[in-house]
Structure 1
Amino acid sequence: MRILKSSGIAGAIVIAGLAASPLFISGSARAQDAVEQFYRSKNNIDLIIGFTVGGGYDAYARLVARYMGDQIPGKPKLIPKNMTGAGSRIAAAYIHGVAPKDGTAIGIVDQSISLEQALGDSGVKFDTRQLIYIGNPIADNNVVTTWHTSPVKTIDDARKIEVALGATGFNTSSQYPQVLNTMAGTKFKIILGYPGGNEINLAMENGEVAGRGSNSWASWKATRPDWIRDKKMNVIAQIGLKRAADLPDVPLLTDLATNEVDREAMRLLSAPTAIGRPFFTTPGVPPDRVKALRSAFDATMKLPAFLDDAKKLNLDINPVSGEELQKIVADIIDAPQPVKERLGSVLALIEREKSK
């Protein structure tokens, strides 16, 4: 006990030596061991993808899955599984309420689900704040596009000519065209029900629809670089908080507002672009496993091999941490009520039109 009475530098050295001794094994080390033992016993983590194979969400999910498992203590494999339907709400609901709440299930779904909850959408039957966010590999603007044979090649054209845009459900793919119709005077006809982006792309090529209501600019560059190179599609609007560097002449959604209330509503609609391609796990996962999953995601984003693969696949990487995503989701849901009411009244027109 006398040793604890040492003072000054000598005392600090003695105390530091004690802290480094086996008697002072840190709680974090024990937690690391527990996490490693848990994931070694489980072997696999299900990665539930809310959209069909081959689209932007799927591409990012499968790329992350190839590398992230090795960064988790115990090195479990991430097994991609596509669970489509209702604009990815089925997958989100599964992760929230059905999947094991132990860190063996991860989801990736549409970035707009938190906004849908904020606006009181009855189809979102759970609180997205309860999901535990792990990270997002790409914060990027979304875009509204038309096929090169469409008579609508600009926003001004869309104000004069009615064309059909494909959408997967009540998400960004239908929300953006509806907001443009109501707040910017366009004449888009929204066609709901496509299971995924690939099916809308095929419908564009076949002339079934004239364009696509939403896709991230990064996903277009990754999945259809030839369309961009060969000018087979027109980017007529972008959704984000600032213009993409390589789309300097394409107007932001907020540029098209005609009054301040609509501009703020458009800004709220644009906020989920920071959510991007969100990876999350179930409510109730123990904190040590949450920390391990988030740390593994962050480490994956810096791996040279991961970044090389992303470059080969034309997938941009601009990550957002799980902690940041958790705050963004909360901020969206807690947005000012008048702004939510204005945006909600516009988006309700989608459901009203569908029920006719």
Structure 2
Amino acid sequence: MVVGEEEEDDDDDAPASYMSLEVAFLIPAAARDGGGEKQGRKKAPPFRFSAPPPKTPTLFRFSSDPHRVLILPFLKIRPLFASGLHQSHQAKMVFWEGWISDELMGTFSPIVVYWLYAGMYQLLPPLDQYRLHTRKEEEQKNLVPLSSVIKGVLLQQLVQATVAGLMFLITAKPSGEGSIIQPSLPVQLIQIMVAMLIMDTWQYFIHRYMHQNKLLYRHIHSQHHKLVVPYAIGALYNHPLEGLLLDTFGGAISFLISGMTARTAVFFFCFAVIKTVDDHCGLWLPGNIFHIIFQNNTAYHDVHHQLHGTKYNYSQPFFSIWDRLLGTYMPFSLVNRKEGGFEARIGKRLNGMS
């Protein structure tokens, strides 16, 4: 057998996502003709076979060229994600692939992440040295028990899962059209950033209007502010209508306008949930990445929950852009309390509308 150079590819219709492997056979003429007059080597009748194996996307080609036996597969490699490659021939990109759909994951993973992350905070020791309010304040100021908060959150998540399921059902690609090609990582990051800005915009104006409209505040938004001292599990404790308008519709609009796929939405929705829970955790923990990256953080939102800060710091859950642009930003400083922990103390507000 002889290893030779790559054969010229004359099959333009071969799937662009396969690697090419060519094999040639040397067949002695005597053996082929049953012992002919002259010993020698002649080409076997040409044939070609194409069959991608189930795991490795490779196109095998058999050739009758007598001067080489094997062309190694790495000599002709085409892009892995080129058109024509079915998803089953790709390496798994996410751990749930092959088990559940991206749409199902996008519907239920934010709920699971919420309870895991909020539950982690709930199971922590008191950590009085990092609290923004004392435990005594939490007991005295909060107007609703934990059991009612849990029921309220579960009700909102039931509505959330229903709307998300319908949204993914409507926007899902028909099964007969093949698998969805996922965008590149930079494109997905841009889509997530766009979705963050859209969600912030939606929530700022809906949230602010619920404070300015006395009827809406009294009958709807005031339920969330019964937790004067926020804690993690209460992050999504809202009136069902507010949960639908503010959070569920805000997430759906962000998903649709940004153009992200259901798979990208899994990461975006889970990230948004983690950020929202963290903003309500009531702890100023050292090294918290959200406190380092985002000015809109636990202390920022704690100011809004205080009785003298309810008309300020409406922005949530990511940036403080709209508060700063529209004059509703309330500056604050973190000071140490004598009894331990911190206090988000309101400073002098910048000029602007209230």
Query: If the length of structure 2 is used for normalisation, what is the TM-score?
Result: 0.25
State which structure, 1 or 2, has the greater radius of gyration over its C-alpha atoms.
2
More strand by share: 1
